[in-house]
């Protein structure tokens, strides 16, 4: 298996923003409380989900088959590979995970510390290990802000529709949707298993979307540019219960420069995705398989995040 000037870590980025807020508004205590101090709204999320009707599929892994680049059990198959293209400043390295699921609910989500709230973080690999994952990627970092619909493992945690989201349904299909045109409970009632809120959407109806290289991510304290060549994480849909998850490394000259949004979308389409969606990237971009992080996170090591998508092994 596959075994920059680094950008600031997310906590460092937040502190920079907080300093500015404190200088302009004289509200450092408020800013620290809002953007740095963790606020747990639901502790022991696993128990909360069990009490609220979560019933995801549990695979029979007694006969699981594991190789250096694949894992299969009970009708679910995961295949991972590393791809390198270009040289020098044009070098790009990315990791592809092809997931064929026996049931849509095999792909689960987990929170850092098994707790839902803002600013609660842990490394992707730690969250994965705590949940017995054979495979995981970073999620949408829902805890970085307090807007967006959050549905995890069939349970609604937050109903603050703001942007375009991605909904995974129990019947295996996945679709883009407008968060402002619905509500979390209606989505759960319609069969949504997980709903992610980051973006932008990269591909719809098999076509790379226009304008994605100009999109900024909205945050609780203004818009933040995510353009240019950057580390990226994306999820693509090939068919019902057939997904392709990609992590592009970046900010590492000679190894991987990263990818623009359009480059990421073109890559996803080339992998067969007819729908694709951008997740949290930069230092968060992480792919974990069989007990190790297989990509090279751009901070020189993993950056804490609030959530992961994973398959339990």
pLDDT for res 18 = 29
| Ramachandran region, residue 271 (left: φ > 0; alpha: ψ -120 to 50; beta: rest) | alpha
**Residue 263, CB half-sphere, CA atoms under 13 Å: how many?**
19
- pLDDT at residue 15, rounded to an integer: 29
Task: Tell me the two tokens of residue 56.
Answer: 């995801």
Nearest to 87 by CA among 232, 256, 251: 256
Q: What is the pLDDT of residue 217?
A: 78
pLDDT tens digits along 157-208: 999 999 999 999 999 999 999 999 999 999 999 999 999 999 999 999 999 9
Look over the chain and give the mean of its residue pLDDT values, rounded to a whole number: 89
- Which tens digits make up the pLDDT trace of 27-44? 676 556 655 777 889 999
What would the pLDDT profile of 102-133 be if each residue is shown by its tens digit? 999 999 999 999 999 999 999 999 999 999 99
Centroid of chain to Cα 39? 21
The answer, yes or no, to whether residue 20 has pLDDT greater than 50, is: no
Name residues whose C-beta falls within 8 Å of residue 219's C-beta, 6 or more positions apart in sequence.
144, 145
Domain boundaries, the chain: 4-37, 40-312
Contact 134, 78 (CB under 8 A): yes
For 108, phi then psi, to 5°, come to -110, 170
C-beta separation of 295 from 231 below 8 A: no
Report residue 254's pLDDT band, with 50, 70 and 90 as the boundaries: very high
């Amino acid at each position: 298996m596959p075994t920059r000037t680094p950008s600031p870590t997310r906590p460092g980025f937040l502190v920079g923003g907080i300093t500015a807020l404190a200088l302009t508004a004289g509200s450092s205590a408020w800013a620290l409380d809002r953007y740095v101090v963790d606020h747990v709204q639901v502790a022991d999320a696993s128990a909360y989900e069990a009490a609220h009707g979560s019933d995801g599929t549990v695979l029979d892994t007694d006969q699981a088959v594991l190789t250096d680049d694949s894992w299969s059990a009970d009708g679910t198959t995961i295949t991972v590979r590393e791809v390198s293209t270009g040289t020098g400043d044009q070098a790009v390295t990315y990791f592809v995970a092809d997931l064929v699921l026996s049931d849509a609910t095999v792909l689960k989500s987990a929170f850092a510390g098994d707790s839902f709230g803002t600013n609660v973080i842990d490394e992707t690999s730690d969250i994965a290990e705590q949940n017995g994952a054979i495979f995981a990627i970073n999620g949408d970092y829902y805890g970085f802000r307090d807007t967006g619909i959050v549905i995890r493992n069939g349970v609604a945690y937050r109903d603050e529709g703001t942007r375009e989201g991605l909904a995974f349904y129990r019947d295996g299909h996945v679709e883009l949707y407008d968060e402002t045109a619905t509500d979390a409970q209606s989505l759960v009632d319609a069969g949504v298993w997980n709903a992610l809120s980051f973006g932008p959407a990269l591909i719809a109806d098999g076509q790379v979307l226009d304008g994605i290289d100009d999109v900024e991510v909205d945050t609780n304290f203004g818009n933040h540019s995510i353009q240019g060549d950057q580390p990226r994480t994306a999820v693509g849909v090939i068919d019902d219960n057939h997904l392709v998850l990609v992590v592009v490394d970046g900010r590492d000259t000679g190894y991987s420069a990263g990818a623009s949004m359009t480059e990421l979308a073109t890559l996803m389409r080339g992998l067969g995705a007819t729908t694709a969606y951008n997740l949290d990237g930069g230092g968060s971009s992480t792919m974990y398989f069989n007990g190790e992080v297989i990509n090279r996170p751009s901070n020189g090591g993993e950056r804490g995040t609030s959530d992961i998508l994973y398959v339990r092994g």
